[in-house]
Structure 1
Amino acid sequence: MSLANDRIRKLLTIVTEGAIESALVRDLDRLGAHGYTITEARGKGRRGVRNAGWDASSNIRIEVVCNDDTAAAIAAHLQAQYYDNYAMILWASEVEVLRPEKF
C-alpha cells in the first residue's frame, strides 16, 4: 500500500494521571480532536511507580489521531496547562490512516 499525503495524520500519545481525565477530555474536544481512545496504563518514571489499582495513583494513556494544526494546539495547551503540576508525557508520530475522512 502506498502512502498518500492526504492520509497522513499525527498520532498524539499522552500518558498522564487518571485524576485529570475529565479535564483533558474537555480540552481535547475544545481544541478540535474528533475523537480519542483512553486506556488505563501503568509503569515507572521520574515520579515513581504508577499503577491502575488505585484511582489516586492510576495513569491513563490517551491517543488522538488528528491533523498537524490540531496536534500543535493540543501539545501547546498541555505544556502550558499541565506539565508543571502533573505527571505527563506526550509524544507525536506520523501515521497513515485508511479512512482519512474520519480525521
Structure 2
Amino acid sequence: MTSLHTEKRTLLTVFSEASLEPLLIRDMDRMTIRGYTISDARGKGSRGVRDASWDESRNIRLEVICARAQAELLLAHLQERYYANYAMVAYLSEVEVLRPEKF
C-alpha cells in the first residue's frame, strides 16, 4: 500500500454577497493569494433567504487554501473592510493537501 504524503494548510471559506466578487478578487491579487475557487451559493441566515432569485440576493462561496498566516491576514482584511456593511461570514479549517507546493 502506498503511503500518502500530505501537508497541513488552512482553508478559508467565505460566504458573501455576489456583488463583492470583483473587489474580493482584487484584494486577493494584491495579497498575492495563489489560487481560489468561487461558486454560487444559496441559503438562509440571519439576513434572511438568499436564493439568487434576483441579482441583489445572490451569494458566492469563496474558498482559499494557503498557509495559516496568509489566511488569517486575508480574514482580518475582510473583517475590517467588509463585515460592517455587507452580508459576509467566514471560517477557517485545517486541511491536509497533496502537492503542497501548489498552495
| TM-score, length-scaled by structure 2 | 0.92
Q: Which is worse superposed, 58-67 or 25-34? A: 25-34
Q: Give the aligned partner of residue 14 of structure 1.
A: 14
Q: Give the aligned partner of residue 54 of structure 1.
A: 54
The secondary structure found in structure 2 opposite 1:73 is helix
- CA distance in 2 between counterparts of 1:3 and 1:89 reads 32
Runs of 4+ in 1 over 2 A off after TM superposition: 1-4
- CA distance in 1 between counterparts of 2:62 and 2:81 reads 17
- CA distance in 2 between counterparts of 1:26 and 1:88 reads 17
Q: Give the aligned partner of residue 82 of structure 2.
A: 82
Q: CA deviation at 1:3?
A: 6.6
- CA distance in 2 between counterparts of 1:70 and 1:32 reads 9
Identity of aligned residues (%): 55
CA contact (8 A) 1:17 1:60 kept: yes
Q: Give the aligned partner of residue 26 of structure 2.
A: 26
Structure 2 alignment gaps of length 5 or more: none
CA RMSD of aligned residues (A): 1.3
- CA distance in 2 between counterparts of 1:53 and 1:3 reads 44
The secondary structure found in structure 1 opposite 2:10 is strand
- CA distance in 2 between counterparts of 1:53 and 1:33 reads 31
Q: How many residues align?
A: 101
CA contact (8 A) 1:8 1:94 kept: yes
CA contact (8 A) 2:5 2:98 kept: no
| TM-score, length-scaled by structure 1 | 0.92
- CA distance in 2 between counterparts of 1:29 and 1:17 reads 19
- Larger Rg, first or second structure (1 or 2): 2
